[in-house]
Amino acid sequence: MLLNTYEPWKFAFSRDLSSLEEIQSNSWGIIGVPFDSTSSYHTGSRLGPITVREASFGFENYNFDFKKDLNTIFYDFGDLNVVSGNCIKTCEILEETILELSNYKIKPLIIGGDHSISYGSIKGILNDFEDLTVVHLDAHRDLANELIGEKFSHGTVLRRVHELGINELIQIGIRSSSKEEEEFVLNNENITNFSSVDVKENFGNILNKLAEINTPIYLSVDIDVLDPIIAPNVSNPTPSGISIKNIQDILKNLNDKNIIGFDLVETSSNNLGDITSINASKIIYDFLTLF
Ligand SMILES: [Mn+2]
């Protein structure tokens, strides 16, 4: 099936596309991935793609925070035909879909879904790019080797991504992990860690690190990186998180870099217009305004 997707809704300001022949290269392509089978606490991120898209209709074309119109060209290709209960198969379908998009030089913008799907997305990206830095915003490291006996899970996804042979993993906003994950970080020189306290107190160090990146970048945002006051409906709410302003400052400082893929995962809103989906949508809206 073409792009393996169906179309329940479209993100605000996305361009119409009657045929793939009209597509403009080097634009962004949104794909929703309504898959939450590996969620270990609250489920519901399968509704993320629809609630995040719906929330986008509350924003204006002019992005006040950046004094700029959202005139980036992007398309919304709908939702992936996921295989509930099967992370590996779902990731394979996502990888194939991303390869299909890359034939048209379209960069993937993924709306999750639980974090396990980033594996399929990054694997798809690595078919075209040998060098890749993953910038990962999250309350959690997601570096466990297994979670409840599972190798492919939202708690192991960055470990599996690390095994794919990326250049570097930069984690920002971390405030929850296991001893095993801490040891793994200490034993791997190509993982850099910034906690949520670093975001608030040592932000200059983060900006220096981001400025040094000289490879293409994949940006993965787990919405639980935000404080649960402004993003309560996530799979694993974790106190003392960061703000939308912090995310905007990170995005601004990546503006001259080559971002070639983006995902925003773990939005588990169960009703339209809730604050978690609005803030998730705001991050995508800001991202698209800047890139
Ligand atoms: Mn997380």
For residue 258, report the distance from its CA to the centre of ligand 1, in Å.
25
Distance 139 CA to ligand 1 centre (A): 5
Please give all residues whose CB falls under 5 A of ion ligand 1, grouped by chain where several chains appear. 138-140, 222, 224
Q: Find the domain containing 49 and state its range.
A: 2-290
Contact, 144 vs 180, CB < 8 A? yes
- The mean per-residue pLDDT over the stretch 81-97 comes to 97
Provide the number of structural domains found in the chain: 1
DSSP H or E segment with residue 173: strand 168-174
Residues 211-228 have pLDDT tens digits of 999 999 999 999 999 999
Ligand 1 centre to CA of 40 (Å) is 11
pLDDT over 80 (residue 8): no
* Average pLDDT estimate for 164-193: 98
Q: What is the CATH number of the domain that holds 52?
A: 3.40.800.10
Q: What is the pLDDT of residue 2?
A: 57
Q: Rounded to an integer, what distance in angstroms lies between the CA atom of residue 36 and that of residue 243?
A: 25
**Percent of the chain beyond pLDDT 70?**
99
Q: Report the C-alpha gap between 184 and 43 in whole angstroms.
A: 27
> How far, in Å, from the CA of 188 to the mean position of ligand 1?
21
- What values do phi and psi take at 256, rounded to 5? -95, 10
Residue 96 CB contacts under 8 Å (≥ 6 apart), including other chains:
4, 124
Tens of pLDDT, residues 92-131:
999 999 999 999 999 999 999 999 999 999 999 999 999 9
Cα of 268 from ligand 1 centre, angstroms: 12
